[in-house]
Structure 1
Amino acid sequence: MDHRVNIIESPVLTDPLADIVSFLQPRAPYSKWVTGAGPWRIRREQTGQVFYGLVLEGAIRFQADGRDEVALAQGDFVLVPSSFGFTTTSANEKPEAGIVTTPVHLGNGALRVGRADGPADCQYLVGHCVFGSADAALLVSLLPDTVIVRRDERLAALARLVRDETLSKRPARDVVLERLLEVLFIEALRSAAASDTAPGLLRGLGDARISEAIRAMHREPARAWTVDELADLAALSRSSFFARFSRTIGVPPMEYLFGWRMVLAKGLLTEGRLPVATVAERVGYGSSSAFSLAFTRHTGMAPAHFARAATAAAAE
């Protein structure tokens, strides 16, 4: 199924989070239900896939590489968009230093860690997401390094559905499971947008003043925005707005706008329905030459060449 959404031609779409999710084209093709007892430690070295986990019962400890260890209790959700290596560890009994546990596959998407017999003292759901967008790296860079949502009942309810579907043998199980996992991912981002997250788009959307500027840029990407105009929308002085936006999002306002325009331009060029001049106009450039120069510097490829390459790739 093609998840792409052309938001340019729908001016009523002014939700930046919806824009980002639509362009990311998230899929969640993998999930496992894990039960654990006693001391255990799981280590994941590979990167390149966005990890998520949700504690269903009990507690675990989680540590992304280069980050502090955090305790996750029942109902807590963790998402690592930047795909760090990470370690998960039993919370009740500390494993010996350097010991890494090999999970036992129980079949049907279930794993056991720690002691093989006796009741489990924790249950959690783990999996990874993949993104269909060629601009996933840019968009994911606007998300925090680690997203933690504490005790969100909507996420917990979704996780219970995913667990039940994981363990079932019902028709179309894999299709239903993937859709549920996509909803789980989006709900986690939405929940994190309302929390005190690390610098990034989610934190910006949770800031009432900064979010006004972000929504305006998404609503009218072709407008010749200035920092002064965006500061007025945020009801802040120019200097206060610039500093607050940069601190909250992680990049300055014009850099964010440029990145978003390039994402939109790539989407339009990939669709192949519009000439370069029209694409340039729709993303805020007064001339094809100015747009071509900016696009080529950003991607290393001229717009016309990018469009032809995208068409050829789609035909393969």
Structure 2
Amino acid sequence: MKDLKERVSTAMGRFGRLSAGAFTRPVNSHAYREPSVVFHLGGGELVASIDGRSVPFKPGDMLLIDPWTPHARTPASDQASMLVTLLVEPSLLNPATSTEPDIVYRFAQRNARIDDAMRAHLDSLIALMFDEPMANLGTIQTKIEQLIDAVRQRFPFLPRSGNRRAIVDSRVRRAFESLRSSAIQGVKIEALAAGSGMSRSHFFRQFKRSIGVSPQHVIDEERVNYAVKALGSSGIMLSKLSEELGFSAPAHFTRFFVQHLGCTPSQFRRGLLIL
């Protein structure tokens, strides 16, 4: 396989999204709607932060991150880290998530070691994604489905004890849905707080307690989702996409993208595979 430094390959489909590459940049705190798994396959060690807890992240480790859980990573050296990040449609890990929307599901553990069979599978998948991927889209799709099945069998995705959403303030629930639907239009958090009948500080506390992340995390996730879908479904100019997302200059959008995905929009687009 060719040198993967500064190369990223991302597969997107009904399953979710899987990205692979050798990353050198830190990634700021962010949160996904979907459960995610990050595999460290080699290179430099990192320090991960998951919901405020620092976790060493070295080759052979994997992180299992629940939906709407803030997380970040910081390189421990200037050596690139070979990472695979898998975002999974929740129903593929547990079909009950599609019929029980008010129940919160989570992984039973936060980290684990990659076993030999999973490592061999990941190596095979990455080789296909970087070496003539367009000739192997069907095989890549199958291997991703097999990877998801292996994760599901080894790491059950189960209802959270205490059922956090059962106690979500109805005002916060309405604000959360409004935030997700209007994040691209430049919603003002202060206006949401006022509309919910709360002060800005009280709104932030209630939102974080109920949802698990800050309002800004939700806005950022919606903007990232909009960007990756646009990059994958059209030939939109980056300057136009930057404008649609409310950035004052394309450079600001590029910086935001790098801070959340670890690569530039151009790198992402060049390595994008639609399954």
Return the TM-score normalized by structure 2: 0.43
Rg (Cα) greater in structure: 1
Structure with higher RCO (Cα < 8 A, 6+ apart): 2
